[in-house]
Amino acid sequence: MTGIGYDVHSLATHRALVLGGVTIPHSHGLDGHSDADVLCHAIADAILGALGEPDIGYFFPPDDPACKDMSSLKILEKCRELAVAGGYQIINVDSTLIAEAPKIQPYREAMRCNIGKALGIDPARVGIKATTNELMGFVGRKEGIAALAIAQVD
């Protein structure tokens, strides 16, 4: 089974930038109730979709005080738990970050390791790519970062 996920968060000056569970030095972070890790959120929704479950907001409501500033790797761990409880195994995930800055390549391997560990899969089965929006739209104006993901569950 496969599922797709998408997430977007606006950039904010008062937050750290966390992507794939890695804190990246940058002038802006992502605004949100948790750590606002768009990469983990898109992957989580892809896995939940493959499992036929509701989206992450169902399991981690944005108005729940327990979710305030939580690591989005915990969301991925919950996805793994749901898969195992349903008798499923996460096979792989593939994702794309869409941002004008910062450069993702220096942090890619650490992200793959974090995500792989949270999902209980080999980091080699975690695809992370990055692209820009060619200066168009909210991403191009550096107002936010978006992510897309697909997951295969067996």
**Structural domain count, the chain:** 1
Cα distance between residue 46 and residue 51, in whole Å:
9
Residue 38 buriedness (CB in 10 A; 0-12 / 13-18 / 19+) = buried
| Per-residue pLDDT, 62 | 87
| Per-residue pLDDT, 102 | 95
Decide if pLDDT at 4 tops 90.
yes
Decide if pLDDT at 8 tops 90.
yes
| Per-residue pLDDT, 7 | 98
For residue 103, the SS3 value is: coil
Are residues 17 and 147 in contact, defined by beta-carbon separation less than 8 angstroms? Answer: no
Given the structure tokens 């990469």, which residue do they identify?
39
Cα R_g (the chain), whole angstroms? 14
State which residues form the domain around 123.
2-153
| Per-residue pLDDT, 144 | 97
**Average pLDDT, stretch 11-28?**
96
Q: Can you give the CATH number for the domain in which 58 is found? A: 3.30.1330.50
Prediction pTM value: 0.97
**Average pLDDT, stretch 5-22?**
96
Residue 149 buriedness (CB in 10 A; 0-12 / 13-18 / 19+) = buried
Which tens digit of pLDDT belongs to each residue from 72-121?
999 999 999 999 999 999 999 999 999 999 999 999 999 999 999 999 99
Across the chain, mean pLDDT equals 96
Are residues 19 and 39 in contact, defined by beta-carbon separation less than 8 angstroms? Answer: yes
